Amino acid sequence: MPAKNEDLHGMVPDKADVALILLDVINAMEFEGAEQLLPPALEAAPRIAALKERAKEAGIPVIFVNDNFGRWRSDFRSLIAHCMNPELRGYELVRMLLPDEDDYFILKPKHSGFFSTTLDVLLNYLGVKTLIITGFAGDICVLFTANDAYMRDFHLVVPCDCVASNDPDDNRRAVKQMREVLKADVRPSTELDLQLLKRKARQTEAEHPEPEEATFVSRSREAGR
């Protein structure tokens, strides 16, 4: 946790040990291969929406992390407005997963939600220790984001029923890799106890507190006198 400006000058008002990430769910599905991804994505969408609702009831913040489809000229609201065109493939998908006013959002330039984005900063100011990652595609953006989260020592939860890929076999392999290599909890979303996740995250923080930078600097100055 930062030593000062703990709410990023009011821009990050929440404090949370657990956060829910929705990856690339605001999606027009108008790209090559989308016709294969859309059916499993539509199947996963109601489960993601239900998990999102449960997370909010449990006080877990929701973060939309999304590709920027506007050639670097769009923002999140214009992206939503574009995807809410009923003539687009992804219309029903987006309609089920619309963000609320108090949700966070980040636009990403490539596969991982961490690459060249402010996700690290946001999670740091929130105080997050555990990430629940959902979205599309499981074998690409979800996997890449989970890899980067693991490298940053987050505890990972990737509900197997809340991720989808173009090919079901590829999706199963990605989920297996996240379970075996990244030590992710991949049980279905309906089996997740969100309050237990929060308690475990708090317990981890109590057992392994982060060093207080300000105290360290102060003591170093005292030692130098």
- For position 166, which CATH number holds? 3.40.50.850
pLDDT tens for 33-61 read: 899 999 999 999 999 999 999 999 999 99
Establish if 9 belongs to a structural domain: no
Establish if 141 belongs to a structural domain: yes
Contact between 40 and 95 (Cβ < 8 Å) = no
For the chain, the domain total comes to: 1
Establish if 12 belongs to a structural domain: no
At residue 68, the pLDDT reads 78
Mean pLDDT by 10 residues, the chain (225 residues): 57 82 95 93 98 97 88 76 93 96 93 96 94 98 98 98 97 98 98 95 73 44 49
Establish if 10 belongs to a structural domain: no
The b/e string for 3-36 (b: 16+ C-beta within 10 A; e otherwise) is eeeeeeeeebebebbbbbbbbbbbbbbeeeebee
Establish if 44 belongs to a structural domain: yes
Structure tokens at 147: 């890899």
Establish if 6 belongs to a structural domain: no
Contact between 159 and 190 (Cβ < 8 Å) = no
Establish if 188 belongs to a structural domain: yes
Report the distance separating Cα 56 and Cα 134, nearest Å. Answer: 15
Establish if 4 belongs to a structural domain: no
At residue 75, the pLDDT reads 80
> The domain containing residue 199 runs over which residues?
18-224
